[in-house]
Amino acid sequence: SGRKDGVYLLPAATQFECEGSCTASNRSIQWREKVIEPLWESKPDHTIMYLFAQKFGFADEFTKNVKVTNNEPSVEDILREINRGTWTIGYSGQSPERLKAHMRNMQVFDPKTLRAKGGIDKETGYQLDGEYFGLPWPCYGTPEMKHPGTPNLYDTSKHVMDGGGNFRANFGVEKDGVSLLANDGSASKGADLQFGYPEFDHVLLKKLGWWDELTDDEKKKAEGKNWKTDSSGGIIRVAMKEHGCHPFGNAKARAVVWNFPDAVPLHREPLFSPRADLVAKYPTHDDKKAFWRLPTLYKSVQDQFADVGKDYPLIMTSGRLVEYEGGGDETRSNPWLAELQQDMFVEINPRAANDRGIRDKDMVWVRSPTGAQIKVMAMVTERVGADTVFLPFHFAGHWMGKDLIDSYPEGAAPLVRGEAVNTATTYGYDSVTMMQETKTTVCQIVKA
């Protein structure tokens, strides 16, 4: 391959070449079916991970709860293991069997409400009535409890076993002597407790006189536990199904988040800003010696580049197109989609273009403070302001002006290639989520 840095790129299968569960942005989960067998040497992600585990000597431990056939771990067992590990967020009731029944009977679900109107799965006899398509998480408890999924969070107009809910008591019951629990009368529909209450545990269940509603087996597993650590699901079942209460408690929403860097959201200028005056007025955070265990720079970077706007006066943003998805390698390999957008481009305002002698469809260099530059086509348009440019993030295959087609295996190069916008993005991490900053920075544009 010509690589000299010890980095290897593994041929992972596309979504069309494997099956299993996938979660959509509305929190629904679908069971994806394999369309074709993996091409060339590509393998599903879970097979690659298993082969690594074999090589490193811990395959038996890695798959102790997962059936393996011909080096491929069972995707059904993988989802069940995920369900056990994501118990507290309610990603637990979506068994492979329930999801497959939904996929076989999509016609019974209302496209607006997502809810099934009647319906019985002919293959298993499973009753679909009342469930939301894909069992959008939170879908609490065990699959046997048949929570229908939650189409909208914090909806107190519905019963908790009807997809309703309330705010979670996740930060204690009081702060500085002020109760954090919901006020009297504020609770999900039909709840036996129509006031604020803490998260459920074995103590609260006993105080309420609900302990004996657990089975004997559930009692053994729930003793000394709370709803998060009770692996039987009994505490969740009794709270939700028998009494209409939410196992994570009923609290007020927080307007002041005291454990965030800013208790109330404040505007802070990006690390790379064209406005030195706004950097002085709205500075970023101080550097952190340990943020999620890593040193993370903020103010030192912003100070270093405080005057970056003199050489890089344009705000550079990135985003998506309708015709491509993600990094775009799959969709740019599809001839019907590739035809729709054949060039990586930058949207630039006519005023900014005219000041730089750039005309529509000219090839230009987009240069960033890191020293990186990408060569793209100019799209002169009023869709962006005079101080802003926009680039899509669906392209790859070019590197700072060079087409890398010779680096692809024969027959594997996408039909459309272009510069990756992230080549030109800059350093930065969100102060709460630690997400990298790939959506905005500054740049300069010159005619190529």
pLDDT at 61 over 60: yes
Fold (CATH) for 276-447: Barwin-like endoglucanases (2.40.40)
440-447 and 314-319 beta bridge pairing: antiparallel
pLDDT in tens, 145-172: 999 999 999 999 999 999 999 999 988 8
CA angle 101, 102, 105 (to 5 degrees): 85
pLDDT at 96 over 80: yes
pLDDT at 19 over 80: yes
**Measured distance CA(188)–CA(158) in Å, rounded:** 6
Type and span of the H or E element at 299:
helix 299-304
Domain spans of the chain, in order of start: 15-145, 160-242, 276-447
pLDDT at 429 over 90: yes
Q: How many helices (H) and strands (E) does the chain have?
A: 11, 17
pLDDT (0 to 100) of residue 142? 95
pLDDT (0 to 100) of residue 157? 95
Confidence of residue 134 (pLDDT cuts 50, 70, 90): very high
* CA-closest candidate to residue 275, choices 445, 446, 440: 440
Taking residues 103-111, report their average pLDDT: 96
Taking residues 165-194, report their average pLDDT: 93
| C-alpha separations of 213 from 142, 216, 236, 243 in Å | 17, 9, 12, 11
* CA-closest candidate to residue 246, choices 302, 188, 297, 315: 188
Cis ω for the linkage preceding 138 (within 30 of 0): yes
pLDDT at 268 over 80: yes
Output the pTM of the full model: 0.82
pLDDT in tens, 298-348: 999 999 999 999 999 999 999 999 999 999 998 999 999 999 999 999 999
Taking residues 125-152, report their average pLDDT: 96
pLDDT at 128 over 70: yes
pLDDT in tens, 370-413: 999 999 999 999 999 999 999 999 999 999 999 999 988 888 89
pLDDT at 256 over 90: no
Q: Which long-range contacts (CB under 8 A, 24 or more apart) does 299-303 make?
A: 301/271, 301/427, 301/428, 302/269, 302/271, 302/272, 302/273
Taking residues 289-301, report their average pLDDT: 92
pLDDT (0 to 100) of residue 411? 86
pLDDT at 65 over 80: yes
Q: Which backbone phi and psi does 68 adopt, to 5 degrees?
A: -120, 130
pLDDT (0 to 100) of residue 24? 87
Average pLDDT in the chain: 94
**Measured distance CA(219)–CA(210) in Å, rounded:** 11
> In DSSP terms, which residues pair with 68 in a beta bridge?
73
pLDDT at 2 over 80: no
Q: Is 109 helix (H, G, I), strand (E, B) or coil?
A: strand
